[in-house]
Protein backbone atom coordinates (compact mmCIF):
# COMPACT_ATOMS: atom_id res chain seq x y z
CA UNK A 1 0.00 0.00 0.00
CA UNK A 2 1.36 3.43 -0.93
CA UNK A 3 2.28 5.82 1.87
CA UNK A 4 0.03 8.89 1.68
CA UNK A 5 1.78 10.73 4.52
CA UNK A 6 2.55 13.75 2.34
CA UNK A 7 -1.19 14.38 2.00
CA UNK A 8 -1.89 15.36 5.59
CA UNK A 9 -0.57 16.81 8.84
CA UNK A 10 -1.89 16.59 12.38
CA UNK A 11 -2.81 19.54 14.59
CA UNK A 12 -2.92 18.50 18.24
CA UNK A 13 -4.05 20.29 21.40
CA UNK A 14 -2.05 18.14 23.86
CA UNK A 15 -3.55 19.59 27.06
CA UNK A 16 -7.21 19.82 25.99
CA UNK A 17 -9.54 16.84 25.81
CA UNK A 18 -12.90 16.40 24.13
CA UNK A 19 -15.53 13.72 24.57
CA UNK A 20 -16.69 13.85 20.96
CA UNK A 21 -16.02 15.53 17.63
CA UNK A 22 -16.34 19.31 17.36
CA UNK A 23 -16.55 21.16 14.05
CA UNK A 24 -15.13 24.69 13.82
CA UNK A 25 -15.17 26.04 10.29
CA UNK A 26 -13.48 23.43 8.10
CA UNK A 27 -11.72 21.80 11.09
CA UNK A 28 -13.05 18.67 12.77
CA UNK A 29 -11.54 18.30 16.24
CA UNK A 30 -11.70 14.80 17.74
CA UNK A 31 -10.27 12.88 20.69
CA UNK A 32 -7.00 11.14 19.92
CA UNK A 33 -8.56 7.78 20.80
CA UNK A 34 -11.05 8.23 17.94
CA UNK A 35 -9.68 6.90 14.64
CA UNK A 36 -13.03 6.18 13.02
CA UNK A 37 -13.00 6.84 9.29
CA UNK A 38 -9.24 7.31 9.05
CA UNK A 39 -7.14 5.52 6.48
CA UNK A 40 -4.80 2.84 7.86
CA UNK A 41 -1.85 5.21 7.37
CA UNK A 42 -3.59 8.07 9.16
CA UNK A 43 -4.59 5.76 12.02
CA UNK A 44 -0.99 4.54 12.35
CA UNK A 45 0.33 8.09 12.59
CA UNK A 46 -2.40 9.07 15.05
CA UNK A 47 -1.48 6.19 17.35
CA UNK A 48 2.21 7.06 17.13
CA UNK A 49 1.59 10.73 17.91
CA UNK A 50 -0.82 9.92 20.75
CA UNK A 51 1.88 7.85 22.42
CA UNK A 52 4.22 10.87 22.42
CA UNK A 53 2.02 13.17 24.50
CA UNK A 54 3.15 13.31 28.14
CA UNK A 55 2.25 15.48 31.11
CA UNK A 56 5.46 14.95 33.07
CA UNK A 57 7.93 12.21 33.95
CA UNK A 58 6.49 8.91 32.64
CA UNK A 59 2.87 10.14 32.78
CA UNK A 60 1.31 9.87 29.33
CA UNK A 61 -1.87 11.88 28.70
CA UNK A 62 -4.70 9.45 27.97
CA UNK A 63 -6.49 11.53 25.38
CA UNK A 64 -5.83 14.85 23.65
CA UNK A 65 -7.64 16.65 20.82
CA UNK A 66 -6.58 16.55 17.19
CA UNK A 67 -7.54 17.53 13.67
CA UNK A 68 -6.23 16.25 10.35
CA UNK A 69 -5.36 19.08 7.97
CA UNK A 70 -3.76 19.32 4.51
CA UNK A 71 -0.04 18.60 4.62
CA UNK A 72 2.05 21.52 5.89
CA UNK A 73 5.65 21.62 4.71
CA UNK A 74 7.28 23.11 7.78
CA UNK A 75 10.68 23.46 6.14
CA UNK A 76 9.38 25.10 2.97
CA UNK A 77 7.13 27.93 1.92
CA UNK A 78 4.18 26.47 3.82
CA UNK A 79 5.25 28.40 6.91
CA UNK A 80 3.05 31.15 5.46
CA UNK A 81 0.28 28.82 4.23
CA UNK A 82 -3.43 29.49 4.61
CA UNK A 83 -3.81 26.27 6.61
CA UNK A 84 -1.19 27.42 9.10
CA UNK A 85 -2.91 30.79 9.38
CA UNK A 86 -6.27 29.08 9.96
CA UNK A 87 -4.75 26.94 12.71
CA UNK A 88 -3.22 30.01 14.37
CA UNK A 89 -6.63 31.68 14.40
CA UNK A 90 -8.25 28.49 15.70
CA UNK A 91 -5.80 28.23 18.58
CA UNK A 92 -6.18 31.94 19.40
CA UNK A 93 -9.97 31.73 19.65
CA UNK A 94 -9.95 28.52 21.72
CA UNK A 95 -7.36 30.01 24.08
CA UNK A 96 -9.55 33.13 24.38
CA UNK A 97 -12.63 31.03 25.17
CA UNK A 98 -10.79 29.19 27.93
CA UNK A 99 -9.59 32.47 29.44
CA UNK A 100 -13.15 33.14 30.62
CA UNK A 101 -13.03 34.26 34.26
CA UNK A 102 -13.79 31.79 37.01
CA UNK A 103 -17.30 32.55 38.36
CA UNK A 104 -16.03 32.73 41.96
CA UNK A 105 -12.35 33.67 41.89
CA UNK A 106 -12.49 35.78 38.68
CA UNK A 107 -9.09 34.48 37.51
CA UNK A 108 -8.85 33.18 33.94
CA UNK A 109 -10.04 29.57 33.78
CA UNK A 110 -6.91 28.63 31.79
CA UNK A 111 -3.75 30.39 30.79
CA UNK A 112 -2.87 30.67 27.09
CA UNK A 113 -0.43 27.76 27.29
CA UNK A 114 -3.21 25.33 28.24
CA UNK A 115 -4.42 25.74 24.65
CA UNK A 116 -0.97 24.93 23.23
CA UNK A 117 -1.04 23.54 19.70
CA UNK A 118 1.48 21.16 18.15
CA UNK A 119 1.63 20.48 14.43
CA UNK A 120 3.07 17.18 13.20
CA UNK A 121 3.95 16.73 9.52
CA UNK A 122 4.94 13.13 8.69
CA UNK A 123 8.08 12.47 6.67
CA UNK A 124 11.75 11.62 6.83
CA UNK A 125 13.74 13.59 9.42
CA UNK A 126 17.48 13.76 10.19
CA UNK A 127 18.34 11.25 12.89
CA UNK A 128 20.83 13.66 14.47
CA UNK A 129 17.94 16.11 15.08
CA UNK A 130 15.42 13.54 16.27
CA UNK A 131 17.96 11.59 18.35
CA UNK A 132 20.93 13.80 19.25
CA UNK A 133 23.73 11.75 20.74
CA UNK A 134 26.12 14.30 22.25
CA UNK A 135 26.38 14.26 26.07
CA UNK A 136 23.18 12.26 26.47
CA UNK A 137 22.24 8.64 27.06
CA UNK A 138 19.17 6.69 26.00
CA UNK A 139 17.32 5.40 29.07
CA UNK A 140 14.03 4.33 27.48
CA UNK A 141 13.07 0.92 26.13
CA UNK A 142 14.98 -0.44 23.15
CA UNK A 143 13.90 1.61 20.15
CA UNK A 144 16.20 1.41 17.15
CA UNK A 145 15.55 3.49 14.06
CA UNK A 146 16.49 2.41 10.57
CA UNK A 147 18.32 5.16 8.70
CA UNK A 148 18.28 5.61 4.96
CA UNK A 149 21.42 6.41 2.95
CA UNK A 150 21.08 10.11 3.88
CA UNK A 151 20.86 9.46 7.63
CA UNK A 152 17.13 10.18 7.75
CA UNK A 153 14.51 8.18 9.65
CA UNK A 154 10.69 8.09 9.55
CA UNK A 155 9.24 10.74 11.82
CA UNK A 156 7.68 14.17 11.99
CA UNK A 157 8.69 17.76 11.56
CA UNK A 158 6.82 19.72 14.20
CA UNK A 159 5.89 23.24 15.17
CA UNK A 160 4.88 24.05 18.76
CA UNK A 161 2.71 27.15 19.33
CA UNK A 162 3.85 28.55 15.96
CA UNK A 163 7.23 29.44 17.47
CA UNK A 164 9.27 26.34 18.22
CA UNK A 165 10.30 23.81 15.59
CA UNK A 166 10.99 20.26 16.71
CA UNK A 167 11.64 16.79 15.31
CA UNK A 168 10.01 13.62 16.57
CA UNK A 169 10.08 9.90 15.83
CA UNK A 170 8.46 6.80 17.25
CA UNK A 171 9.26 6.81 20.96
CA UNK A 172 9.68 10.59 21.24
CA UNK A 173 7.94 12.54 23.99
CA UNK A 174 6.18 15.89 23.82
CA UNK A 175 5.90 17.68 27.16
CA UNK A 176 3.93 20.86 28.08
CA UNK A 177 5.61 24.25 27.54
CA UNK A 178 5.97 24.82 31.31
CA UNK A 179 6.39 22.43 34.27
CA UNK A 180 3.73 21.19 36.67
CA UNK A 181 0.76 21.77 34.41
CA UNK A 182 -2.50 20.64 36.02
CA UNK A 183 -5.11 18.95 33.84
CA UNK A 184 -8.64 20.08 34.66
CA UNK A 185 -11.11 17.27 35.39
CA UNK A 186 -14.19 19.07 34.05
CA UNK A 187 -12.61 20.38 30.86
CA UNK A 188 -14.32 18.94 27.75
CA UNK A 189 -14.06 20.94 24.55
CA UNK A 190 -17.31 19.59 23.10
CA UNK A 191 -19.34 20.53 26.17
CA UNK A 192 -17.39 23.70 26.93
CA UNK A 193 -17.88 25.27 23.50
CA UNK A 194 -21.63 24.75 23.77
CA UNK A 195 -21.57 26.40 27.19
CA UNK A 196 -19.52 29.32 25.87
CA UNK A 197 -22.04 29.82 23.06
CA UNK A 198 -24.88 29.87 25.59
CA UNK A 199 -23.26 32.22 28.09
CA UNK A 200 -22.13 35.06 25.85
CA UNK A 201 -23.54 36.71 22.76
CA UNK A 202 -20.12 37.51 21.25
CA UNK A 203 -18.77 33.94 21.27
CA UNK A 204 -21.06 32.85 18.39
CA UNK A 205 -19.83 35.87 16.44
CA UNK A 206 -16.25 34.67 16.91
CA UNK A 207 -17.17 31.19 15.71
CA UNK A 208 -18.76 32.75 12.64
CA UNK A 209 -15.35 34.15 11.66
CA UNK A 210 -14.38 30.64 10.56
CA UNK A 211 -17.36 30.42 8.20
CA UNK A 212 -16.79 33.64 6.27
CA UNK A 213 -14.02 35.19 4.15
CA UNK A 214 -11.49 37.33 6.01
CA UNK A 215 -12.28 41.05 6.28
CA UNK A 216 -10.44 44.00 7.81
CA UNK A 217 -12.77 43.79 10.80
CA UNK A 218 -12.24 40.06 11.38
CA UNK A 219 -8.47 40.49 11.08
CA UNK A 220 -8.61 43.29 13.65
CA UNK A 221 -10.62 41.11 16.04
CA UNK A 222 -8.20 38.18 15.69
CA UNK A 223 -5.21 40.49 16.15
CA UNK A 224 -6.78 41.81 19.36
CA UNK A 225 -7.34 38.24 20.59
CA UNK A 226 -3.68 37.43 19.93
CA UNK A 227 -2.62 40.35 22.13
CA UNK A 228 -5.11 39.35 24.81
CA UNK A 229 -3.65 35.84 24.84
CA UNK A 230 -0.16 37.29 25.17
CA UNK A 231 -1.31 39.06 28.30
CA UNK A 232 -2.77 35.79 29.62
CA UNK A 233 0.49 33.87 29.26
CA UNK A 234 2.19 32.22 32.24
CA UNK A 235 5.36 34.10 31.25
CA UNK A 236 3.74 37.58 31.40
CA UNK A 237 4.12 39.65 34.56
CA UNK A 238 1.51 42.21 35.59
CA UNK A 239 3.09 45.07 33.65
CA UNK A 240 3.40 42.98 30.50
CA UNK A 241 -0.20 41.80 30.82
CA UNK A 242 -1.48 45.37 31.14
CA UNK A 243 0.56 46.47 28.13
CA UNK A 244 -0.74 43.54 26.07
CA UNK A 245 -4.33 44.30 27.03
CA UNK A 246 -3.86 47.94 26.07
CA UNK A 247 -2.56 46.95 22.64
CA UNK A 248 -5.43 44.45 22.31
CA UNK A 249 -7.99 47.17 22.96
CA UNK A 250 -6.27 49.53 20.55
CA UNK A 251 -6.20 46.85 17.85
CA UNK A 252 -9.86 46.01 18.44
CA UNK A 253 -11.02 49.61 18.31
CA UNK A 254 -8.96 50.46 15.23
CA UNK A 255 -8.44 54.05 16.29
CA UNK A 256 -6.82 56.37 13.74
CA UNK A 257 -3.47 58.02 14.43
CA UNK A 258 -3.60 61.63 15.59
CA UNK A 259 -3.34 64.01 18.51
CA UNK A 260 -6.67 62.90 20.00
CA UNK A 261 -5.96 59.16 19.82
CA UNK A 262 -5.42 58.79 23.58
CA UNK A 263 -8.56 60.75 24.37
CA UNK A 264 -10.64 58.66 21.98
CA UNK A 265 -9.10 55.50 23.38
CA UNK A 266 -10.13 56.45 26.92
CA UNK A 267 -13.66 57.28 25.76
CA UNK A 268 -13.99 54.02 23.84
CA UNK A 269 -12.74 51.84 26.70
CA UNK A 270 -15.00 53.70 29.13
CA UNK A 271 -17.97 53.00 26.87
CA UNK A 272 -17.13 49.30 26.76
CA UNK A 273 -16.01 48.68 30.35
CA UNK A 274 -17.18 51.65 32.36
CA UNK A 275 -15.14 54.51 33.77
CA UNK A 276 -12.33 53.19 35.98
CA UNK A 277 -10.53 55.48 38.50
CA UNK A 278 -7.13 54.47 37.05
CA UNK A 279 -8.12 54.27 33.40
CA UNK A 280 -6.31 57.45 32.31
CA UNK A 281 -3.07 56.33 33.94
CA UNK A 282 -3.34 52.86 32.35
CA UNK A 283 -3.87 54.29 28.87
CA UNK A 284 -0.96 56.69 29.23
Report mean pLDDT in 10-residue bins for the chain, 284 residues. Answer: 69 97 94 96 97 96 97 75 91 94 80 97 94 91 88 96 95 94 94 86 87 88 94 93 86 68 60 57 54
> pLDDT at position 139, please?
87
Extents of the domains making up the chain = 5-200, 213-284
Give the Cα separation of 11 and 145 in Å (integer).
24
Q: What is the pLDDT of residue 61?
A: 98
Residue 230's pLDDT is 95
**Residue 99: per-residue pLDDT:** 92
Predicted local distance difference test score (pLDDT) of residue 2: 42
The pLDDT, as a whole number, for residue 221 is 92
Task: Specify the pLDDT at position 1.
Answer: 37
Cβ within 8 Å of residue 192, ≥6 positions away: 97, 98
In the prediction, which pLDDT does 202 show?
82
pTM for the full predicted model: 0.89
Amino acid sequence: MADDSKCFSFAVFPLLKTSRAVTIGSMILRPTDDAEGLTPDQARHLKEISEMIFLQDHLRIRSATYAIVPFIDLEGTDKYSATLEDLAHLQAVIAYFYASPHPIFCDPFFKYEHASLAIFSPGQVPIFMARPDYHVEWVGPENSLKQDDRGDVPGYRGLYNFKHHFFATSGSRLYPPFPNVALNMSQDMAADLNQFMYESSHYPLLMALFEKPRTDTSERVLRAIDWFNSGNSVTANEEESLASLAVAMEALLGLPDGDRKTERFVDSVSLLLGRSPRLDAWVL
